[in-house]
Copies of this chain bind each other. A is one copy, B any other.
Amino acid sequence: MELTVYLAGQIHDSWRDDVKEKASQKDLPLHFVGPQEQHDRSDSVGEDILGEQPNPVYRDDAASSINNLRTQVLMQKSDVVIALFGDKYKQWNTAMDASTALTMGKPVILVRPESLHHPLKELSNKANVTVETIDQALDVISYIFE
C-alpha cells in the first residue's frame, strides 16, 4: 500500500526536498505531490500561459487560477496532507490548503514551531496531529505502516 502525501506550505525554500530525502531514508512507500515550487514560475504562470495582464492584480489572479487547478487535482489524489508553517511569509495558502483538506475529510499533519502555536491554535485543534518538525511528521506517517 502506497500513500500519496500532499505537501502544503511556503515555496521559498527547499523543505520538501528534506521531507522526500528523509522519507526515502526510512524506505516509506510514499508518493509526494504539492504546489509549484519554483516561486517565480508560480507567480508568472498566469502571464506565461495567458499573456500579459492589465495590472498586477490580474496578473496574480491569472496565476492563482492555474495554481488552484493544480492543487485541486493533486489534493484529490492525496491520502494525507502535511501542512508546514514557519515564521516567515503570510502563509494564507497553507491555511487555505490545510482547511480545504480537513473539510474534504483528508487527514492533516500540521508542522509549526511552538512559537506559532497561539495564532495557529484553531487550525491546530482541527488538524489531526500537530508537530514541530519534519522528522516528527514523517514519524507520524511512518506509524501508519507499523
Q: Which A residues fall within an 8 A CB radius of B?
A: 1, 3, 31, 33, 36, 38, 41, 45, 48-50, 54-58, 60-61, 63-74, 76-77, 79-80, 85, 89-93, 95-100, 102-105, 107, 109, 114, 117-126, 128-132, 136, 139-140, 143-144, 146
Q: How many identical subunits does the complex contain?
A: 8
A138: nearest chain-B partner, CB-CB: B49
Which DSSP category, helix, strand, loop or mixed, fits chain A's interface? helix
Beyond the given A69-B140, A92-B120, could you list 10 further A-B residue pairs with CB under 8 A, ordered by the A residue number?
A: A54-B58, A61-B124, A63-B121, A68-B128, A70-B144, A74-B144, A92-B95, A92-B123, A99-B103, A103-B104
In the docked arrangement, what's the CA distance between A92 and B124, Å?
Answer: 11
B56 close to A117 (CB less than 8 A): yes
